[in-house]
Amino acid sequence: MSSHAASGAGRRKPHLLAHSPDDNVAVAVIEGLAADTAAFGVITENDTTFEVHVRHDIPIGHKVALADLKAGDTAIKYGQDIGKVIKDVAKGEHVHVHNVKTKRW
């Protein structure tokens, strides 16, 4: 994950939200998050901030990788396992059903 700045998330409107410092994905919380954006993010659990260069257009509600993820890795959101990475995902890329699957089946 990107380096965390001091608290002060209220000064800027975030592009991305992560819930836990352990998360390796964050959720787009604005419409029209475009590729090549230096996206500003907030970790809600501790009110720290991060920045990640977004490589793809990300629809609102979809996820962005906060670190390079390899096939077989676990995607972490809300500090919880949300699925298995099935295709390598570079930091800043779109994380969705094409590269992460549930472990339930």
Q: Which of 7-11, 91-95, 100-104 has the lowest average pLDDT?
A: 7-11
pLDDT tens, residue by residue, 3-49:
444 454 446 899 999 999 999 999 999 999 999 999 999 999 999 99
Identity of the residue numbered 51: E
Look at residues 14, 30, 1, 18 and name the one whose alpha carbon lies nearest to residue 80: 18
Would the pLDDT of 50 be above 60?
yes
Question: According to the model, what pLDDT value does residue 4 have?
Answer: 45
